[in-house]
Structure 1
Amino acid sequence: MSSKSVLVTGAGGFIGFHLVNYLKNKGYKVRGVDIKEPDYEGSSADEFKLLDLREMENCREAVYGMDEVYNLAADMGGIGYISGAHASITYNNTMISAQMLKAAHDAKVERFLFSSSACVYPQHLQDVPSVVPLKEADAFPADPEPGYGLEKLYTEKLCEYFTEDYGFQTRLVRFHNVYGPLGTYDGGKEKAPAAICRKVAHAASGDTIEVWGDGKQTRSFMYVDDCVEGIFRIMRSDYSGPLNLGTDELVDVSGLVDIVAEIAGKTINKRFNTNRPQGVRGRNSDNTLLREVLGWEPPMHLRQGLVPTYRWIEAEVKAGGIERHIMPQVEPMIAAQ
């Protein structure tokens, strides 16, 4: 048990919500901050502040009295969203990330964790589905995902400079596609596992759903419980360089649909739409360094984690009373980040 006070920004979102509950179970006193209320009831934060972290005075208010900061706040979503809003995403995330880092340093916070992304990796290393797993050192020479990935890579370096110049303790986590219950599953910002679960939940056995891309693009996916445990372990480690946090279980998007359909007990046909954004052709995590630093890596297999994820989304769809839509013309994304 710990007596430390910690701040989780982005606490109203998917990973932040789970992280707050995880830290509370560890005995921390937790302050949650977001620009919005939590998406779901049940946040166990000791206090929750509604603050726009694009403003420096709000960042200073957020970090006041805190021992550690888990900075998860970001403007983000699936590939359809991040590929269509480069200016706003880059501006918003630059303001949040840089000012939170500065405010935490000025407040003499003991440790600051920055949530980065696999989108920092060069696009030319991800141009075939049978991609070689990405190592942390592969980020340079740089060619990140435009906008979202560029800001993440830039802020990683800014954190490193604060450590080198000021001795400020920072931790850098590169997330690889997180999924699980309570994640966004509609509205345009959802990612592949949740979008597929939603579409399959709406469909009857034998129906056809639309899949963005040709279905051959590959990704690895990490269950949210593993994600928050990994975040905590990295924060507690003595390693300040970037670390991948993901699984190395590669699956293509067509196969992801098949797994969800099997869990649902349905026969699902697929219509592939290559006119939609689909991101890089392949992305997988190399966990060699993560295992060396932590002696641990995310253990949950994809099919195992998709069972509770699908059941939760299926229940949400049924509770919402939404009519069944098959292959709608205007539909949120079903691509992989």
Structure 2
Amino acid sequence: MSNRICLEELIAVSDHSSSALVAGGGGFIGGHLAARLLREGYRVRVVDCKPVDEWFQVHPDAENVVADLSLLDAAHAAADGMDEVYNLAADMGGIGFIEGNKARCMLSVLINTHLLMASRDAGVDRFFFSSSACVYAAAHQTAPDLEALREEMAYPAMPEDGYGWEKLFDERMCRHFSEDFGLRTRVARFHNIYGPHGTWDGGREKAPAAICRKIAAAVINGDDKIEIWGDGEQTRSFTYIDDCVEGIRRIMRSDCDQPLNLGSEELVTINQLVDLVQELAGCSLTRHHDLSAAQGVRGRNSDNTLIRKQLGWAPSISLRDGISETYKWIYKEVGYASHRFLP
């Protein structure tokens, strides 16, 4: 089977008898993925530990279950009868959260381990694990004008403490379950996924959502200042949610059993991201740089050579297009939360 498959072929191979578990489906990426699978004709089971009224998206056509997948019995019940399992469940957030909650991030190994065991026992056909660019060593990310990260650069291993180690360990678990038990596992290393229907406040949000929220709040409340963590010259590439979901589906159906970067190659500084959001919002704010705040690595970008080779595809949605949609959604959410807009 060729690794180069178009969207029409994805839908064709997903007949109406296919079933999928979306673990962590009450979250940002999981909610979008569940919607995609439903459109493709899957029977979808969404499981999340949060109460349903706290899910970002609730799909009436899915089987929606509240359960703690760090418990083996819950994982077995969730995987039972499923053809495919997508594990997006994890206790995580932006840089402020992961630097301050290393043990909580590490405990997510229980979710993936138990889902792998349950998938093996249930005869699941394919298993997807959502890894992260945090598996890469900080030594490769010390300058803003960095060399883009290639998959082989994850070793020798020295990932982000806590969250990065959890992701790298779970990548190895997937590999060994494939080798030892024949479970077909697929792994994507996400690079800063953003978009509507995700976390935008509360401390778990990532840079695009945080910047959109701060600028939206300034516009709505008539403020003229914005706080930026660090000097703003740290660089990142940001991947829009539609590209992320497309990549997940293509990776899952491919023959590629090694981890693949799933990220944009459009590198920008945080200051450039602020410039873009301000332009879209039609404002210009005075910047205060908090040099004591968590900043993460100095620079990070995705090298998409391998995903192009394996799939004949790579993320292509521009930052401008993705941020435009994200800002419009967050602007409305900030307005509702501040009671300036009616829901």
How does the TM-score come out when normalised to structure 1? Answer: 0.93
Q: Which residue of 2 aligns with 1:271?
A: 288
Alpha carbons 1:248, 1:285 under 8 Å: kept: yes
Alpha-carbon displacement from aligned partner over 1:264-295 (angstroms, at most 9, x marks no partner): 01112211111000000000000000001111
Decide which of 29, 37, 42 is 1:15's aligned counterpart: 29
Q: Which residue of 2 aligns with 1:327?
A: none
Distance 1:68 1:206 in 2: 48
Decide which of 151, 165, 185 is 1:170's aligned counterpart: 185
Superposition deviation, residue 39 in structure 1: 2.5
Paired residue secondary structure (1:261): helix
Residue 247 (structure 2) pairs with residue 227 (structure 1): no
Distance 1:274 1:124 in 2: 21
Matches within 5 A, 1:1-337: 1-2=14-15, 3-36=17-50, 37=52, 39-91=55-107, 93-204=108-219, 207-321=224-338
Paired residue secondary structure (1:114): strand
Q: Which runs of 4+ in 1 moved over 3 A?
A: none
In the alignment, structure 2 segments of 5+ residues that lack a partner are 1-13
Alpha carbons 2:26, 2:58 under 8 Å: kept: no
Distance 2:243 2:307 in 1: 13
Alpha carbons 2:57, 2:197 under 8 Å: kept: no
In the alignment, structure 1 segments of 5+ residues that lack a partner are 324-337
Distance 2:313 2:167 in 1: 24
What is the aligned-residue RMSD (CA, Å)?
1.3
Alpha-carbon displacement from aligned partner over 1:115-164 (angstroms, at most 9, x marks no partner): 00000001100011111100000000011000000010011011111111
The one-letter amino acid of 2:280's match is I
Paired residue secondary structure (2:284): coil
Distance 2:145 2:339 in 1: 38
Superposition deviation, residue 88 in structure 1: 1.9
Paired residue secondary structure (1:83): helix
Alpha carbons 1:214, 1:274 under 8 Å: kept: yes
Query: Taking structure 1 as reference, are residues 44 and 233 closer, same or farther at Cα in structure 2, changes over 3 Å only?
Result: farther
Distance 1:181 1:136 in 2: 28
Superposition deviation, residue 42 in structure 1: 4.4
Distance 1:81 1:206 in 2: 26
The one-letter amino acid of 1:105's match is R
How does the TM-score come out when normalised to structure 2? Answer: 0.92
Percent identity of equivalent pairs: 54
Superposition deviation, residue 44 in structure 1: 4.7
Alpha-carbon displacement from aligned partner over 1:179-222 (angstroms, at most 9, x marks no partner): 00111100010000000000000114771111011101110001
